[in-house]
Amino acid sequence: MEVERKQEKEAGWMDLKAIEERKVAIVEEMLRLLGEEVLTKKKSKITRLFMDTTSLHDTQRAYVDAMRGQILASMMNWIMRGNEDFGEGGSRSV
């Protein structure tokens, strides 16, 4: 009887441990994907910043110029604030 209860308790702890390990794996995967998304956004911003607009229509050129302005403004914000990631759209409480 006592041995069975110990075994059941141990099995319960093993199940709980497996669940917690799975949660950690899920969070790690989410963080990895979020990191990839952030890198993709930054690469996209840098591409827009330096793209050639000579072959674009006026409306397209105006859009790219506006995006460049936003990117440059966020970079200036980043420089003024310190080492915070630029252009992520959030504000940091100081």
pLDDT digits (tens, 9 = 90+) for 38-94: 888 888 878 877 888 889 899 999 998 898 898 888 888 878 887 555 455 544 444
Q: Is the CB of residue 92 less than 8 Å from the CB of residue 84? A: yes
What pLDDT is attached to residue 94? 41
What is the rounded CA–CA span in Å between residue 86 and residue 46? 11
Over residues 29-45, the mean pLDDT reads 84
Look up residue 9 and give its amino acid.
K
SS3 call for 1: coil
Per-residue CA distances from 10 to 20, 49, 74 (Å): 15, 58, 54
Question: How is the chain split into domains, by residue range?
Answer: 1-50, 52-94
Is the confidence at residue 37, as pLDDT, over 70?
Answer: yes
Phi then psi for 56, rounded to 5 degrees? -90, 155
